[in-house]
Structure 1
């Protein structure tokens, strides 16, 4: 079996294990400098403090009226918003007000945009060298466009921004991007107000000006425009058949050059994998038999990292590494992943077995499916899987009860650190747009624009994801990302205790980020005991480690 599917940059996984004590609570982001503990607060933060009788309701955003009442207390909002709140209590709030709270929150994080005014000051002395202008990022473009949209569509609402909302300080390319972004905001507003013909005309312009091979703004608008148009067709029943969909899970599992290129060139998965694997290593060290249960194995690349870590421990008396993958579909693809992992283990002379537990429904999963051995140490790994069960709380509850009964030594969880689960369409639109703006900024730094692997990966990972978040409803909307505070409330119900992220794990993340060409912009911060992996401060993924009380 060929091993190129598991090709990784040369990495010395064990290089920090002896240098740091695992009980430390902070880590170095730069040599000699400690990273300050930062908490990322969002609109759903209060949800982490209680759990209602309806598990699914605890994954929801707070009522929009509550958000607006809080906004009215923020500096920069005129008293006129109070009248606006009263006026809207008895009717559905328009798109612009629904977005106001999110735009205000994100706008407060753009202090560096004050530099815009300085950078375009006329240079009076021709002998003085001009400072090279730094283009606005996709994330900044979207946030400014959102603020401009709010200002233009609601003259009764005023709030201050740390940047100039006019086009006077923008380059020609920035102005074009801003106009395109505003077209997208306007089309979403028309859609939310059921002005479908107007929304369609605006989307025609978006389609004309956007491209899946253009700059990041154009690429992002391209995918959002397709999703908004499908939602219009769905609500107006203009189309008798749904947009052609495909199984993201199968696309990710299938070995391909595009999947490998995406994995190698963006930092988030590699950073979270190395840190997460280190946590498993620390909790299984010196065990003779290790049993890994992977809730959704995908390509299995993380276990090649784990195997290398095991081999690096020369004195480790390992008798067997057992990997069990759970699946409800795509059995053949899971088995193919197992064959590649076994082949990789064989090249390293590592005793390894691979088992597949197939169930038609996760509700059917039981402890006796896992062939547990009293002498083995069990670790559970979950990457982007639990959020897919939020739409079916009974399945999430059933799975977590099975895992609790197994009582693993450790459970490592990686999830998207964002709130894409609001029942309000426009809130999901704004949150998803801002989140993916940061992600597309990352891709533009890490991959060439004409790289065909980038185009394929963006379509697989984001095109279908945007469609699921914005178009699908009910159980079909199975991409329902929530933030770590919400997960903490959920896991507390199953007597799960959040474990401290060790110094070794955070150092593995830091070392991995520095090894990547674009890793300098990958930010690592702690939210309590969890590691937040972001892009220039915008949270992208969350890595957390759990044990059962």
Structure 2
């Protein structure tokens, strides 16, 4: 991709998102792969061992040097061929799982579970009461820890898979929890085989999951397993060529994706999610508080929302500005980008205009309609010199990670606008590893936590829960079934975005104690808000569920 470096002072070589992975990324994978059998033994022995401070510092330094020396490149990195093709396996030879880095990643989740489970067992002994029911993610963690324990012995023959984890030292489980652990183990084994391109063996393992109920029934674990198993089956059919079956399935998937897009614009569902699931309101109030603080002395405010949706999130800002006692707002302008759904965006505008009138708030609404992001121009936003511009970017950038032209163009436009503050919301997840199995493991634990949240918060809203899980299922499919350029949405963590934003001379600004207070206060108002966590990671906020990071919200300024 050629750029005119002279005429454009902010022209950069593209950034390779695949190079930067939180936790176990490409650097750790290289080390693990070359460790061989000794490395595998070390992984198993070191499951409860954390790196020393000196070792961690050395690793951080190495990562930093690697980042500085590596050429930036947006283009997707092709997945390297696996060395364990099933046609090359000698007969009667015991084959250990090949993705050692993936096993190390899996064992890192297992360490966390062992610490938690020891506490549960201790409480059980002290109170003589059965431990509290495990969450969806804890079930998956247990399955992962157990898969690691049996990886060198009992997983050598796919037809003989260890069942019933009695005596494993993880406390007392219910019958349903035992069954869920087994399902998750089968799923992990199948994913490992798919990663090694052993599609026949993977299909045999997935066959054991066929009795699992459909995506709408059963426990959250069973529903997560169902959606991941369906994505694995699609990947196998794509890899092996499914003929007419694959074509029919592709047509059905297109219809499902169209339905998902309609559901995303469903106002009623958006309101129910807003009322039941704490994530949106927690981030919304923290973000609005930060915006209000940065435009406190301005009377003309231009709010650019890059994905306005139903407009629910704008109402909080409108209320906050309408209630200002000093320096009353002379005009609030809200502008959004419209790539499609013109009718819905116009309806959103009418609702916001009506709401502004009820607050006696001077208001103007505008949609910048374009066919693609690269068509956006600064002039289309009609930014006045006396306006304070605030940009709100909710889960938009991740949809452009695989499209370097669009992402780069958007950032250049934002830089020219030079907003007073830019609020960025993204999923705090690493689903962009070039290693399929690593990507699968990260996604499995992330979605397990998300499904647990939906199950907990929306027990009485079956239809809405089903719709949300349908949207999440499309996200799972994007990560698991698709590869390279087909994966349009790429989730990366805040540390990756920090490196990316630095290229555009953006500096991160911290959230005030008031913003953090607002976020925690909102979480406590929800029935199950105690499970929603709000923590600081550097200057940004991480919103999670039962300790698992789900979203990041960060604030930025342009130098």
TM-score (norm 2): 0.79
* 1:358 pairs with one of 347, 365, 369: 369
Q: CA deviation at 1:194?
A: 2.5
Which residue is equivalent to 1:187? 190
Map residues 142-291 of structure 1 onto 2, 5 A cutoff. Answer: 142-155=140-153, 165=168, 169-211=172-214, 212-238=216-242, 239-241=246-248, 242=250, 243-244=253-254, 245-247=256-258, 250-251=261-262, 253-291=264-302
2:120–2:171 contact (8 Å) kept in structure 1: no
The secondary structure found in structure 2 opposite 1:104 is helix
Map residues 442-457 of structure 1 onto 2, 5 A cutoff. Answer: 442-448=453-459, 451-457=462-468
Q: Deviations over 1:154-189 (max 9, x none)?
A: 3499xxxxx974677432121111111111112212
Which residue is equivalent to 2:445? 434
Q: Cα–Cα, structure 1 residues 297 and 90, in superposed 2: closer, same or farther, change >3 Å? A: closer
1:522–1:534 contact (8 Å) kept in structure 2: yes
Q: CA deviation at 1:59?
A: 4.9
Q: CA deviation at 1:116?
A: 4.7
* 1:530 pairs with one of 518, 529, 540: 540
Q: CA deviation at 1:205?
A: 2.8
Q: Which moved more, 1:189-198 or 1:494-503?
A: 189-198
- Paired with 1:116 and 1:492, the residues of 2 have a C-alpha distance of 43
* 1:515 pairs with one of 517, 521, 525: 525
Q: Deviations over 1:389-414 (max 9, x none)?
A: 11012221111011011100000001
Map residues 391-430 of structure 1 onto 2, 5 A cutoff. Answer: 391-430=402-441
- Paired with 1:479 and 1:383, the residues of 2 have a C-alpha distance of 14
Which residue is equivalent to 1:62? 26
Q: Cα–Cα, structure 1 residues 247 and 276, in superposed 2: closer, same or farther, change >3 Å? A: farther
Which residue is equivalent to 2:490? 480
Q: Deviations over 1:72-124 (max 9, x none)?
A: 8779339xxxxxxxxxx996475552421221222232211113544666x9x
Q: Deviations over 1:244-272 (max 9, x none)?
A: 34258833542343332222111111101
1:274–1:509 contact (8 Å) kept in structure 2: yes
Q: Which structure 1 residue ranges, 5 or more long, are not aligned? A: 1-50, 79-88, 124-128, 158-162
Q: CA deviation at 1:533?
A: 0.7
Which residue is equivalent to 1:77? 46
Q: Which structure 2 residue ranges, 5 or more long, are not aligned? A: 1-11, 48-79, 85-96, 156-165
Q: Which moved more, 1:202-211 or 1:294-303?
A: 202-211
Is it true that 1:548 corresponds to 2:558 in the alignment?
A: yes
Q: CA deviation at 1:416?
A: 0.5
Q: Cα–Cα, structure 1 residues 501 and 197, in superposed 2: closer, same or farther, change >3 Å? A: same
Which residue is equivalent to 1:342? 353
Map residues 466-505 of structure 1 onto 2, 5 A cutoff. Answer: 466-505=476-515
TM-score (norm 1): 0.81
The secondary structure found in structure 1 opposite 2:322 is helix
Q: Cα–Cα, structure 1 residues 165 and 429, in superposed 2: closer, same or farther, change >3 Å? A: farther
- Paired with 1:340 and 1:278, the residues of 2 have a C-alpha distance of 23
The secondary structure found in structure 2 opposite 1:414 is strand
- Paired with 1:219 and 1:454, the residues of 2 have a C-alpha distance of 12
2:282–2:522 contact (8 Å) kept in structure 1: yes
The secondary structure found in structure 1 opposite 2:224 is helix
- Paired with 1:412 and 1:254, the residues of 2 have a C-alpha distance of 22
Provide the aligned length of Structure 1 versus Structure 2.
477
2:302–2:335 contact (8 Å) kept in structure 1: yes
Q: Cα–Cα, structure 1 residues 108 and 132, in superposed 2: closer, same or farther, change >3 Å? A: closer
The secondary structure found in structure 2 opposite 1:457 is helix
Q: CA RMSD in A?
A: 2.8
Is it true that 1:302 corresponds to 2:313 in the alignment?
A: yes
The secondary structure found in structure 2 opposite 1:372 is coil
1:276–1:412 contact (8 Å) kept in structure 2: yes
Q: Cα–Cα, structure 1 residues 208 and 449, in superposed 2: closer, same or farther, change >3 Å? A: farther
- Paired with 2:267 and 2:524, the residues of 1 have a C-alpha distance of 26
Q: CA deviation at 1:197?
A: 3.3
Q: CA deviation at 1:470?
A: 1.3
The secondary structure found in structure 1 opposite 2:247 is coil
Q: Deviations over 1:344-378 (max 9, x none)?
A: 21222211111111222211211111111111110
- Paired with 2:506 and 2:42, the residues of 1 have a C-alpha distance of 36
